[in-house]
Amino acid sequence: MTAETSRVFELRVYHVLPGKMPAVEAQFRDAWAQLLDKHNLKVVGYWEAEDNTFVYIVAHKSRGDAKKNWDALRADPEYLALKKSEMADKTLDKVDSTYMEPTEFSPMR
């Protein structure tokens, strides 16, 4: 399989400002999760890590599919409103995103 036709996973790590984890979790529970799903961004799971990070993994059919779905999300007026609110609340220090391809022996392909 090529990178363009094989399933990929995206690891997203949100570095949360001190004391803001409850607000980040509420944003995802109440708004972001539904918006991601609306744009075919299929979340495998959400986690809160010990180092004050909020982590989630998105499964994509391909890198091309990921780009198409993220572009559609970023063009959605609902996204723009949520982003504006998020910036006003200042809950995050930074966001890291890493694409990962499963190995041939991975149970999650």
Q: What is the CATH number of the domain that holds 25?
A: 3.30.70.100
- How high is the pLDDT of residue 49? 95
Question: Domain range for residue 83?
Answer: 8-54+68-99
- How high is the pLDDT of residue 88? 85
**pLDDT at residue 3 greater than cutoff 70:** no
**59 in any annotated domain:** no
**30 in any annotated domain:** yes
Q: Are 57 and 9 in contact (CB under 8 A)?
A: yes
Q: Is the dihedral of CA 97, 40, 43, 89 positive or negative?
A: positive
**109 in any annotated domain:** no
64 or 5, greater pLDDT: 64
**104 in any annotated domain:** no
- pLDDT digit string (tens) for 18-73? 999 999 999 999 999 999 999 999 999 999 999 999 999 999 999 999 999 999 99
**35 in any annotated domain:** yes
Split into its structural domains, the chain has a count of: 1
CA distance 97 to 77: 23
Q: Are 8 and 100 in contact (CB under 8 A)?
A: yes
**Crossing angle, helix 63-75 and helix 77-89, to 10 degrees?**
80
Q: Are 56 and 45 in contact (CB under 8 A)?
A: yes
CA distance 74 to 70: 6
Residue 25, C-beta contacts closer than 8 angstroms, at least 6 positions apart: 48, 54
**108 in any annotated domain:** no
Q: Which of 63, 57, 56, 51 is nearest to 16 (CA)?
A: 51
